Structure 1
Amino acid sequence: MTTLSATKPKPSALHTLKVDPLARFNRVHSLLYSLGILALLYRHCTSFLASPSFLSLLLFLADLVLAFMWGLVQPFRWRSVRRREFPERLMDTVGRREDLPALDVFICTADPHKEPPMSVVSTALSVMAFDYPTDRLSVYVSDDGGSEVTLFAFMEAAMFARYWLPFCRENGVQERSPEAYFSSNMCENYDKMKMMYQAMKEKVENALQRGHVAGNDLIAASEELEIFKKWKGFTRRDHPSIIQVLLESSKDADIMGDALPNLIYVSREKNITSPHHFKAGALNALVRVSSIMTNAPVVLTLDCDMYSNDPKSPFRALCYLLDPAMASKLAYVQFPQHFEGLNEGDIYGGEIKRLFRTNARGMDGFGGPNYVGSNCFFSRRALGGIRSSALAPLDSHESKEPRPCGSLRLDSVMKRAHEAAGCDYEVGTKWGSTIGFRYGSLVEDFYTGYRLHCEGWVSVFCDPERPAFSGDAPKNLNDALGQVKRWCIGLLEVAISKHNPLTFGIRKASLPLGLCYGYYAYWGSWCIPSTIYAFLPPLALINQKRLFPEVSDPWFYLYAYLFLAAYSTDLVDFLRAEGTIHRWWNDQRMWMVRGVTSFPFGTTQFVLNHVGISTPGFNVTSKVTEEEQSERYDKGMFDFGGVASPFFVGLGTVAIVNLSSFLMGIARAARIEGVFDEMFVQLFLSGFVVANCLPIYEAMFLRKDAGKMPGNVTLISILVAGFLHLIGYFMFTI
């Protein structure tokens, strides 16, 4: 653990902040590296003026984009901070547990076939089991798929919760997701509780396979059959709102007689003629419905597969939200995303340490991390644009009427809740622009956090030693790349909007935060240097065209410094974030893979969308993993899943072009004196790519399992590589 400099905290402090002592070193490194970049750009300019060529222009473009992105990333390292909370001191500030602020939890799901209902149920049960007063806890599940199976799963979960919550309390369970707990633990009453859970799971999975809920699966047939009759004629894109109070704290108790938290199922109205704004629209519907039904001043948003791993995490968030010095300007407390089940080497870079930890700490030093869509405790009034010095409940943003009292099932309450979940509720309002989660980007989380910072709010990064939440990362390459492609499109939507971080953000938030948000907004720009360096040096190498200084040239040492300094500082940052060298190697490999797949495909799709050419819309990342696929992942084998994805054609082409060029370059260097010295940089770059592509060669030519590269993709990659070599021949020799 790195030693951090800080002043001694006050005895009553709920939290402390410590600045990373390496921040000064990072600033010195930034200065020296900046001088190196300027020298490199100067060389490009003088070389181009002396001998203009299209090739030198391409290399200059690649290095210019690299310099631009490098400049944007620097604020992450200027004032990285780490915080520590003291939740044991919280009650001294609050007084009684009954005085703790109420908490509303939002969980969104959109497709029962890609996001299995039982996974969503486990997430909900894990937060229902928070060590928090149950009469002040409400869990809302947004089903944007409008699935009767999902509602049925939560009806079953409501019954199971009566046993599960006391079981967790009595046995001191920390990992309160049943799915996670039963896969890794055994204790007294384990068999009985597991059998109950497995019976529930079997009923739900059978209903999912049938596509509907059978009457014999229902217990309270008189009421529940009426609910499911409503689904006749429903489609995912066209149906009325469904709101069901499955548990009500004032009426429902567990087997020990203790009150259960509120559990409310919400499927907002959908109409094919009305925009629904994807996840942001679903979250805003929950904000409105919850304002009417419970109106808690604190709101937690969770992904459907990101379960609670620490039942005391709300108290850590409250250490900030209840601090009088921060309360009036604090919008949210962001916990990092932590992933269980990663294989030893994390072959797909699923941890994404820079996004979820390293960069978040850097932004925390200048106003707070960006919102990453899950594991985030919001102050409700920030979502309503309300600034005050107290953490007071927020009434309906469109109405001055007080929050309804009494039963959540009252007709007056349900009528208002259904209106709030309707398609037309937002028409003529500021929802999605200055109220609630923001519209205008596929990455509603990034955009919402960014806009809140521009409005003067701050945020906090809370990263306790025990991860507060855990979830699953994609277990096959196509899903991992598709997820990043979707992020790339959404981020570019922010980059070209009137709220561009490099213009609007720098003015409204701050220079460092504007640059940080700009780095993410222009993520897709990495495709330019990645693609140029993936193809240009090897094609020049095979045609004996030198692009870089030879080893005896003093300029060679500038290239060596820039490469080694960039990679060594990245490695240090990764290791300090509790990574390993093995995982770092795989992480940087995946960065190169995304550079020639997710980024160029995402950028292309974004451009096509904006010139009026229709392309596929939003896709939910699948949370389903087949057994054989899981076995291959555990063994550290890249899984191409038998899918003829365009991503894989790009990868295969890069692999073939660099392998053929590297082998021919080495053969030529062995036969001809001076070639190694003259072509060292290009040989090194091609060799570096080849070393990173070893899993791809294995999948293309050696493996026979179902996760190998599809044969037609391999053939197309070879043909495209041959075509590129032909183009290179004409470019470099004619």
Structure 2
Amino acid sequence: MYSNDPQTPLRVLCYVCDPAMRSKLGYVQFPQHFHGLNKNDIYASEYKRMYQINSMGLDGLMGPNYVGPGCFFVRRAFFGGPFPSTMLPPEIPQLGPDYVVDKPITSEAVLALAHKVAACNYENQTQWGSKIGFRYGSTSEDLFTGYRLKCEGWKGVLCKPQRAAFLGDVPITLLDLLTQCKRWSIGQYQVGFCKHSPLTFGIRSMGLLMSLGYSYYSFWSIWSIPVTTYAFLPQLALLNGVSIFPEISKPWFFLYVFLFLGAYGQDLLEFVLAGASVGRWWNDQRMWLIKGLSCFLFATVEYLLKSFGFSTHGFTVTSKVVDDEQGKRYEQGTFEFGVTSPMFVPITMAAIINLFSFILGMIQVSGSSSKTDGLCLQTLLSGFVVINSWPIYEAIGFRKDRGKMPNKVTITAIFLAGVVYIAASLILK
């Protein structure tokens, strides 16, 4: 991230110096904005809901969640609650919130202190990380830190000027974005299932509404369960001629259609009202489906393995290095695969199974048999996934560049899709 508006510190001071809020104001958060996004933001990298739409809603309660860059903290907020009785003394007096520096920055004493606090172990045997400063225990330290400050009684405020205060880079390959999202998701699970969980500790400290707002992010990756279910179960049933939804002639059919169109219609309306295009909304909902089958799913499995004591991959830093060819494909709105990754296998499996189920469903439904009326919803659902999966079909069969789907991923996905189909056939029969 880098500064995009020299007036930003003055905007912050307007809040910090406001006597009506300064006693409980912990931080001022600016929405994250990014430069270099392609026209329709194919990877939904701006996270419009999290950084802009949802933050405006939380601002009506105790303030937006702290989302990393673009945030100014009141120093006192790192030393306990906003009330004098809850303030904690710092282990080093010179680091306290009320300490006034009376020496030049180049003085020997200041430089010696700087070297001390820059060491990797200066906070050992102190309250730093648990009750003072940024909070340890989660790879999503921004979510955890902001959440704990809210629990202590501090409030945040969203400052959303017309000109973006900061601009940042985004990943331009699908794998980098999914890896970044998986790291966040594991950290969010660490917040959701810790002793300070928003569902227990948060409700007592912040109230129901604010704790539900943090629970939404803490358990974000649980979306992988319904997304995976809807990506495979109705389609496998359709391939075996089994109806699991109401028939088209039944009133319940229209309820399903209403819920589907209503949910997507509301989401589209929120996106458009927030200043986004329909093209960006389409890619956002597409990426939500892809994440549910990849990074959300893998984060859930990895967190469960860690919880039961199994070792997993370590911390991975998101690459934002721009390759010329990758950058060109990104600007053209072409999905970048290119490397063999386990996270590409489930989304490729879903694309293959949905394609075959949609073709078979269309053949059966076109027969106008009363027996196939119950397969209409499953056929429509498969068709919806097929439309969303076009970049995957393109990467499998139509592209020759280095960003296409690796053959190893395609072969693995076809084999596993066949295994899943055989297993489903045995169960459904």
TM-score by length of 2: 0.96
Structure 1 stretches lacking a partner, 5+ long: 1-305
Query: What CA distance in whole angstroms lies between the structure 1 residues aligned with 2:362 and 2:29?
Result: 50
Helix, strand or coil: the match of 2:93? coil
Query: What CA distance in whole angstroms lies between the structure 1 residues aligned with 2:389 and 2:378?
Result: 16
Given that 1:491 and 1:523 are in contact with CA atoms closer than 8 Å, whether structure 2 keeps it comes out as yes
Task: Name the larger-Rg structure.
Answer: 1
Which position in structure 2 is the counterpart of 1:602?
A: 299
Which position in structure 2 is the counterpart of 1:364?
A: 59
- Cα deviation for residue 399 of structure 1 reads 3.3
Could you list the per-position Cα deviations for residues 113-144 of structure 1 after superposition, in whole angstroms to 9, with x for gaps in the alignment?
Answer: xxxxxxxxxxxxxxxxxxxxxxxxxxxxxxxx
- Cα deviation for residue 716 of structure 1 reads 1.0
Given that 1:395 and 1:403 are in contact with CA atoms closer than 8 Å, whether structure 2 keeps it comes out as no
- Cα deviation for residue 678 of structure 1 reads 2.0
Query: What CA distance in whole angstroms lies between the structure 2 residues aligned with 1:697 and 1:386?
Result: 54
Query: What CA distance in whole angstroms lies between the structure 2 residues aligned with 1:417 and 1:388?
Result: 29
- Cα deviation for residue 594 of structure 1 reads 0.3
Which position in structure 2 is the counterpart of 1:670?
A: 366
1:719 aligns with 2:418: no
Which position in structure 1 is the counterpart of 2:77?
A: 382
Query: What CA distance in whole angstroms lies between the structure 2 residues aligned with 1:388 and 1:495?
Result: 27
Which position in structure 2 is the counterpart of 1:83?
A: none
Given that 2:198 and 2:211 are in contact with CA atoms closer than 8 Å, whether structure 1 keeps it comes out as yes
Which position in structure 1 is the counterpart of 2:313?
A: 616
Helix, strand or coil: the match of 1:646? coil
1:317 aligns with 2:16: no
Which position in structure 1 is the counterpart of 2:163?
A: 466
Describe the shift of the 1:611–1:723 C-alpha distance in structure 2 as closer, same or farther (beyond 3 A).
same
Which amino acid in 1 is paired with 2:12?
Answer: A
- Cα deviation for residue 335 of structure 1 reads 0.3
Helix, strand or coil: the match of 1:470? strand
Alignment RMSD (CA, Å): 1.6
Which position in structure 2 is the counterpart of 1:572?
A: 269
Which amino acid in 2 is paired with 1:650?
Answer: P
- Cα deviation for residue 675 of structure 1 reads 5.0
Could you list the per-position Cα deviations for residues 408-429 of structure 1 after superposition, in whole angstroms to 9, with x for gaps in the alignment?
Answer: 2222222222222223322221
Which position in structure 2 is the counterpart of 1:400?
A: 93
Query: What CA distance in whole angstroms lies between the structure 1 residues aligned with 2:246 and 2:153?
Result: 49
Query: What CA distance in whole angstroms lies between the structure 2 residues aligned with 1:388 and 1:500?
Result: 23
1:628 aligns with 2:325: yes
Given that 1:488 and 1:524 are in contact with CA atoms closer than 8 Å, whether structure 2 keeps it comes out as yes
Given that 1:441 and 1:494 are in contact with CA atoms closer than 8 Å, whether structure 2 keeps it comes out as yes
2:138 alignment partner, one of 410, 434, 441? 441
1:695 alignment partner, one of 378, 387, 391? 391
Could you list the per-position Cα deviations for residues 558-606 of structure 1 after superposition, in whole angstroms to 9, with x for gaps in the alignment?
Answer: 2112111111111110001101111101100000000000111001111
Given that 2:293 and 2:347 are in contact with CA atoms closer than 8 Å, whether structure 1 keeps it comes out as yes
- 1:386-535 equivalence runs, <5 A: 387=82, 397-400=90-93, 403-535=100-232
- 1:543-582 equivalence runs, <5 A: 543-582=240-279
Which position in structure 1 is the counterpart of 2:335?
A: 638
- 1:92-491 equivalence runs, <5 A: 306-385=1-80, 387=82, 397-400=90-93, 403-491=100-188
Structure 2 stretches lacking a partner, 5+ long: none
Query: What CA distance in whole angstroms lies between the structure 2 residues aligned with 1:637 and 1:594?
Result: 17
- Cα deviation for residue 677 of structure 1 reads 2.4
TM-score by length of 1: 0.56
Which position in structure 2 is the counterpart of 1:650?
A: 346
Query: What CA distance in whole angstroms lies between the structure 1 residues aligned with 2:404 and 2:51?
Result: 31
Query: What CA distance in whole angstroms lies between the structure 1 residues aligned with 2:11 and 2:232?
Result: 49
Query: What CA distance in whole angstroms lies between the structure 1 residues aligned with 2:11 and 2:371?
Result: 61
Query: What CA distance in whole angstroms lies between the structure 2 residues aligned with 1:676 and 1:322?
Result: 68
Query: What CA distance in whole angstroms lies between the structure 2 residues aligned with 1:624 and 1:396?
Result: 42
- Cα deviation for residue 665 of structure 1 reads 1.4
Query: What CA distance in whole angstroms lies between the structure 2 residues aligned with 1:468 and 1:308?
Result: 6
Describe the shift of the 1:388–1:725 C-alpha distance in structure 2 as closer, same or farther (beyond 3 A).
closer
Describe the shift of the 1:386–1:668 C-alpha distance in structure 2 as closer, same or farther (beyond 3 A).
closer
Given that 2:240 and 2:428 are in contact with CA atoms closer than 8 Å, whether structure 1 keeps it comes out as yes
Query: What CA distance in whole angstroms lies between the structure 2 residues aligned with 1:680 and 1:321?
Result: 58
**Corresponding residue pairs, total:** 423
Which position in structure 2 is the counterpart of 1:679?
A: 375
- Cα deviation for residue 555 of structure 1 reads 1.2
Given that 1:501 and 1:517 are in contact with CA atoms closer than 8 Å, whether structure 2 keeps it comes out as yes
Which amino acid in 2 is paired with 1:339?
Answer: F
Which amino acid in 2 is paired with 1:366?
Answer: L
Percent of pairs with identical residues: 51
Query: What CA distance in whole angstroms lies between the structure 1 residues aligned with 2:150 and 2:82?
Result: 13
Query: What CA distance in whole angstroms lies between the structure 2 residues aligned with 1:472 and 1:340?
Result: 6
Given that 1:404 and 1:413 are in contact with CA atoms closer than 8 Å, whether structure 2 keeps it comes out as no
Given that 1:574 and 1:584 are in contact with CA atoms closer than 8 Å, whether structure 2 keeps it comes out as yes
